Amino acid sequence: MVLDEFKNKSILILGFGREGKDAFLFFRKMFPDKTLGIADKNKISIKGRKIKKYSGKNYLESLKHYDVIIKSPGIPFKELPKKELKKITTQTEIFFDNCKGKIVGITGTKGKSTTSSLIFEILKKAKLKVHLAGNIGKPILNLLFFDTEKDIYVYELSSHQLYNLKKSPQIAVLLNIYPEHLDYYRNFKEYALAKANIARYQKKEDFLVFNSQDETIKSLIKSSKAKKIAIKGKYYDLDRAAAKAVAKIFKIPGRTIEKAIKEFKPLPHRLELVGTYKGITFYNDSLATIPEATIGAMDALGKRVETMMLGGFDRKIDFKKLAEKVLKNKVRTVILFPTTGKKIWKEIVRQAKKEIPNHFFADNMEKAVKIAYQYTGKNNICLLSTACSSFSIFKDYEEKGNLFKKYVKKYGA
């Protein structure tokens, strides 16, 4: 919807997390005298005039009273009343419909934050008018107030933001698609199709940078009209390849690209070196929430990985390849978190032919780190890379990673 269409419509903000709050601030500036609705399952703590709040278990009943519903990414479409779906738009859709500048959209099950940050740093070094937006950068809607044709938006896009989107960015980057968020989507196909929206509506003058090693991606982009640029690489090599490809689209000199890559500081919680304590080297890879990411971390660090922390929230993901890799790399100790820790251990035992690792179950990070110090030898690596989401015993991946770093330093002193 173009912004003028909202003028005479009643508006409900559905979901009041980070993006919902951004949407509220945006529409409050746009229409200071309009009463705005806010609906969220949790208590809504905002105060002010011309606000109608709906919370609690029946919060979705509010949808029928509004002309336009602006849905936050965390609320699955499958949970919403079908008769209200035609009214629903999203912050991403509003931005795409109203943006005058150029959008570089980046998605993938893993690597999108690092790739987005790297692209942003390269374009910034080239003195372009660039903004880092979406999940990792600034909330997107309020950027529209200052938007011009010279602006470039490096926009990290999750599958939730892409779901049901009817426009694609002028430059799309599609890194990889692995089974993830299967608690949110009906199945892997639905998740993959959501990711594919980043390229589905591109035109022949647009660009699609894609991972040519990913069979799912290759099948999804066959009908794309955009100019296709294939990239290859493992783990962070893929991120760099994507960033270089985007930089070349903007005709940025090679020296500028290489300088920006060399100066780029890796993001926290992504194969982050915590340090060496008591002869043991610790790596925090807490954002590795799927087996493929953990396997990538093991490939990057090599055979020195002696101890691993695995397990977490159960999203119905298969751990066969992970167990195979743990055994192949002869990891000596696995420390397992609920609830999938038992499931992972069962798969390791099932596949083991001779030796199996030491195994310990831990329901908190302090206990896990103590075990790691006890069972990891000098000159070896302890890797936190759980292959699962964090929500079983941690608030999120940041809390998990920060607790890991805290106790590594505490018991390493």
**Model pLDDT for residues 348-401, shown as the tens digit of each residue:** 999 999 889 999 999 999 999 999 999 999 999 999 999 999 988 999 999 999
Q: In whole angstroms, what is the distance from residue 252 CA to residue 153 CA?
A: 16
Residue 107 reports pLDDT greater than 80? yes
Residue that is written with structure tokens 């953990």 in the block: 294
Nearest to 121 by CA among 262, 328, 307: 262
DSSP string, 14-67: E--SHHHHHHHHHHHHH-TTS-EEEEESSPP----SSEEEEESTTGGGGGGG-S
| Torsion angles phi and psi, residue 105, rounded to 5 | -95, 135
Query: Are the C-beta atoms of 382 and 273 separated by less than 8 Å?
Result: no
pLDDT at 234: 83
Q: In whole angstroms, what is the distance from residue 104 CA to residue 116 CA?
A: 9
Is the bond into 339 cis (omega within 30 degrees of 0)? yes
pLDDT at 238: 95
Q: Give the other-Cβ count within 10 Å of 168's Cβ.
A: 24
pLDDT: which is higher, 231 or 183:
231
**Model pLDDT for residues 156-173, shown as the tens digit of each residue:** 999 999 999 999 999 999
DSSP state at residue 32 = T
User: In the CATH scheme, what architecture does the domain 9-91 have?
Assistant: 3-Layer(aba) Sandwich (3.40)
Whole-prediction pTM: 0.92
User: In the CATH scheme, what architecture does the domain 272-412 have?
Assistant: Alpha-Beta Complex (3.90)
Q: 208: buried, middle or exposed (CB in 10 Å: 19+, 13-18, 0-12)?
A: buried
**Model pLDDT for residues 170-192, shown as the tens digit of each residue:** 999 999 999 887 777 889 999 99
| Torsion angles phi and psi, residue 17, rounded to 5 | -90, -150
pLDDT at 179: 86
State which H helix or E strand residue 264 sits in: none
Q: What CATH topology corresponds to 99-263? A: UDP-N-acetylmuramoyl-L-alanine:D-glutamate ligase (3.40.1190)
Residues in the chain: 413
Domain boundaries, the chain: 9-91, 99-263, 272-412
pLDDT at 184: 78
